[in-house]
Structure 1
Amino acid sequence: MAFLKIQFALLRCIIASFCCLFLISCQETGNDIQLDDLFEEEDSRQQVLIPASFTPDSARQLGTKVDSIFKHLHKRKGFNGTVLVTKYDQVIYKGAFGYADFHRKDTLTTKTAFQLASVSKQFTAMAIMILKEQGKLSYEDSVQQYIPDFPYKGITIRQLLTHRSGLPNYTYFSDELWPDRRVPITNGDVLNLMAVHRPRIFYKPNTHFDYSNTGYSLLAAIVDKASGMPFATFLQEQIFAPLEMKNTFTFSKDMAVVTESVATGYTSGRRKRTPDYLDTVLGDKGLYSTVEDLYKWDQALYTQKLVKRETLEEAFRGSRPEKKKDEDYGFGWRIRQLESGDTAVYHGGLWHGFNTYLLRNPKDHSAIIVLSNLTNGSLNYLKDVRRFLYPVQPVITASDNTKHSKAASAQL
């Protein structure tokens, strides 16, 4: 009996592997996102066991259901944007709904670039992790080691990463302190405002979690200092180029020449949202990317292409000992339990007409990537997608186990 069980288990693994290969071969060649050349064996790719139930047919059924959900969101809730959903590392659905520019009626595609808003933070965190592995900084270093005139003592890089610095939000105090909003403000300008005016700190460092755009703008400035190159250049050379994220870049006036298409942001009522003086601050936001490039990013996080696995694992570890909610925070990632009971990492973003969302479930190597250029609240309905992909698991009681045992005995 034991021998038969082993044979059956091996057969299931063979079938699952065949199904995975069949899925890859069945994808449309013209729309494939080729990853084989990016993540080779020496990158020690993290594997996932693919169940025999995940077949080409089941994958198509999942994709069809996801398509119907987003068609409903587009038609009934006004969703305008692009989508990519994966399961067991495979793309089960890609779609684009609406326009990149409502005035010109430019149709969105999955190669259209969107402002990532706070989804940018995970890339800033990765830059810090790369520098840490290169020996150019430590998480316990103080901000003053890189920015000597920084006026707030006792704040470390780790506290910036985990939103435990207590610093005030630059997007608020800059409105009061920046003299001319027609002039773009840089990360260096934010630092100068803090050094001169010393806006009041919210909390003593490391006593509270307080979500801080200022902290991540400071991290970008630290990357400048520690690496000896501009933050944007570091991201391009150390992350985007190695992962062949060819349509990912930082905010600039020449964005349109970098990619096939850049979406225009719109607020509710389809009012065009033009960039303003705050868009030039990087680290907390300011990255543009596509759902296809973000899939490459998602897949890279299952390898050691950028940093070692133990370094990356710390980014997905909670940092809030006093937390009261069902959510924690790592390095640039929110951490929470899904309806299925699985623990996922994710981040959302909202900035100047853009609403973004990236969720990863390491248990089944799945991801939900959604980019929108219309901030009308439609992404609030992504819970329908999550509930479909990660349904609530039934609670098995002691009596259920007893019934199951009796039924099994009766069959024997």
Structure 2
Amino acid sequence: MKKKHLIRILRIVMPSAALICTVVFVPWMLLRAWLAPLPDSVQEQLNNAIGYGLDGIIVYVDQAEKEPALYSAGWKNRADQIPADPHALFKIASISKLYIAVATAQLVHDKRLNLDQTLADYLPEFAERIEHADQITLRMMVQHRSGIPNYTDHPDYPWTNPYKSTQETYQLVLDQPADFQPNEKYSYSNTNYLLIGEILDRTLGYSHHQYIKNEILAPLELNNTYSLLSEVELDKVMSGYYVGYEPDIKGNDFIQPGGSMVATAEDVGIFLRALNDGSLLNEDEQAIYSSIYSYHHTGLLPGYQSIAKYHKDIDTVVIQFVNTSGGDKWTLSEIIYNRILKILKTTENS
């Protein structure tokens, strides 16, 4: 019954009374969080955030010419009342796409990949099963301009028991009509990175996860970043909670490329700083990367919300992890993040 209950919540099927409560009461809580007097410190802001229904929060701040700082509040594990640990591992979800985009740029630079070759060229078995496969280029997939449907939007995607193989995931999009003509517009689709992961594996002759470890993580000494949840001890991972569903859901294992990675806030911050300051890629690789993908990202999985951004105006990287999702919690997370930025800018100018 519990899994069926969570499925109903994730599909946002709720009684009309609950919907009325959401419409009437949630905006006021968000408004209160937004309008509250700005605290003097990041830590105080995190403490206040817990009062708005977040279970736990971790923030990493790397300001130029200052030692990086870690902050946390709330629970790492709500049931056992284990306080939030700023060094805990966290499912970073779609932030994983930054690492895949970097690997793609490196392989394009090495002439092992070509951004203008098509999906049909790289994965011929999909030529007749993904519409416009002969027109969709690698560049379009990296940039979410392919028109390939997003598998996580499919009503049958099993959020409570995620697929254990990419082949199962493909079945949700094969033989389906395209959302739009290739390169017609931008539309975020996790399927793009599912396919890019496959392309990387075939090009390399081994797992792109190993390539990322060797060529991206190792040079930066990111020893607390992993490709898959199965690579880590589960008790080192921050628990995840979904609004209206009591159990801890950190055991849900999402293995699809572009959403599978697990890391500490500090490791993500170090990676993001290196990506933005040019120390991760050489000049030519950086030019390729700049032409294909973003320098920041967010992540969202049931129980896990993350924001990873570099703010050029204050030369600061801010990573935020929140282990509560559903309802209004994404909007609340963004409000808290923006308030942290205001605090940093205020203290910088004081």
Asked if the contact 1:140/1:157 (under 8 Å) is kept, the reply is: yes
Name the SS for the 1:356 alignment partner. strand
- Measured in 2, the distance between the counterparts of 1:372 and 1:76 equals 12
Deviation at 1:273, TM superposition (A): 5.1
Task: Map 1:79-90; keep pairs closer than 5 Å.
Answer: 80-88=56-64, 90=66
Residue 324 of structure 2 aligns to which amino acid in structure 1?
A: L
The 1:216/1:88 distance shift into structure 2, 3 A limit, reads same
Task: Map 1:8-407; keep pairs closer than 5 Å.
Answer: 65-78=41-54, 80-88=56-64, 90-91=66-67, 93-151=69-127, 152-173=133-154, 175=156, 184-191=163-170, 194=173, 197-256=174-233, 261-269=236-244, 271-272=246-247, 274=249, 279-283=254-258, 285-302=259-276, 304-316=278-290, 331=293, 333=294, 345-375=295-325, 376-377=329-330, 378-381=332-335, 382-390=337-345
Name the SS for the 2:230 alignment partner. coil
* 1:127-171 residue CA offsets vs partner (Å, 9 max, x unmatched): 111211222101112122221112322111110111100110112
- Measured in 2, the distance between the counterparts of 1:189 and 1:76 equals 38
Asked if the contact 1:73/1:79 (under 8 Å) is kept, the reply is: no
Indicate the RMSD between aligned Cα atoms, in angstroms: 2.9
* 1:345-401 residue CA offsets vs partner (Å, 9 max, x unmatched): 53211111100001102344211100111123431312222334457xxxxxxxxxx
TM-score, normalised on structure 2? 0.76
In the other structure, the counterpart of 1:6 is none
Name the SS for the 2:298 alignment partner. strand
* 1:183-222 residue CA offsets vs partner (Å, 9 max, x unmatched): 834224434665xx41111000000111111111111111
Deviation at 1:305, TM superposition (A): 4.8
Q: Percent identity?
A: 22
Deviation at 1:289, TM superposition (A): 0.7
Asked if the contact 2:225/2:263 (under 8 Å) is kept, the reply is: yes
Deviation at 1:83, TM superposition (A): 0.5
Asked if the contact 1:188/1:221 (under 8 Å) is kept, the reply is: no
Residue 307 of structure 1 aligns to which amino acid in structure 2?
A: L
Residue 233 of structure 1 aligns to which amino acid in structure 2?
A: Q
Which runs of no fewer than 5 residues in structure 1 stay unpaired? 1-62, 318-329, 334-344, 392-412
Asked if the contact 2:94/2:299 (under 8 Å) is kept, the reply is: yes
The 1:146/1:89 distance shift into structure 2, 3 A limit, reads farther
- Measured in 2, the distance between the counterparts of 1:141 and 1:390 equals 44
The 1:293/1:278 distance shift into structure 2, 3 A limit, reads closer
The 1:90/1:157 distance shift into structure 2, 3 A limit, reads farther
Asked if the contact 1:273/1:352 (under 8 Å) is kept, the reply is: no
The 1:361/1:249 distance shift into structure 2, 3 A limit, reads same
The 1:73/1:79 distance shift into structure 2, 3 A limit, reads farther
The 1:256/1:300 distance shift into structure 2, 3 A limit, reads same
Residue 386 of structure 1 aligns to which amino acid in structure 2?
A: L
Which runs of no fewer than 5 residues in structure 2 stay unpaired? 1-38, 128-132
TM-score, normalised on structure 1? 0.65
Name the SS for the 1:126 alignment partner. helix
Asked if the contact 2:272/2:308 (under 8 Å) is kept, the reply is: no
The 1:144/1:118 distance shift into structure 2, 3 A limit, reads same
The 1:140/1:85 distance shift into structure 2, 3 A limit, reads same
> Higher relative contact order at CA 8 Å, sep ≥6: structure 1 or structure 2?
2
- Measured in 2, the distance between the counterparts of 1:249 and 1:373 equals 18
- Measured in 2, the distance between the counterparts of 1:65 and 1:183 equals 39
Deviation at 1:87, TM superposition (A): 1.7
- Measured in 1, the distance between the counterparts of 2:145 and 2:65 equals 33
Residue 162 of structure 1 aligns to which amino acid in structure 2?
A: Q
Asked if the contact 2:250/2:303 (under 8 Å) is kept, the reply is: no
Asked if the contact 2:229/2:253 (under 8 Å) is kept, the reply is: no
- Measured in 2, the distance between the counterparts of 1:130 and 1:314 equals 8
Asked if the contact 1:142/1:154 (under 8 Å) is kept, the reply is: yes
Name the SS for the 1:233 alignment partner. helix
Rg larger in structure: 1
- Measured in 1, the distance between the counterparts of 2:88 and 2:321 equals 10
Residue 134 of structure 2 aligns to which amino acid in structure 1?
A: K
Residue 68 of structure 1 aligns to which amino acid in structure 2?
A: E
- Measured in 2, the distance between the counterparts of 1:149 and 1:269 equals 42
- Measured in 2, the distance between the counterparts of 1:308 and 1:217 equals 26
Residue 161 of structure 1 aligns to which amino acid in structure 2?
A: V
Number of aligned residue pairs? 298
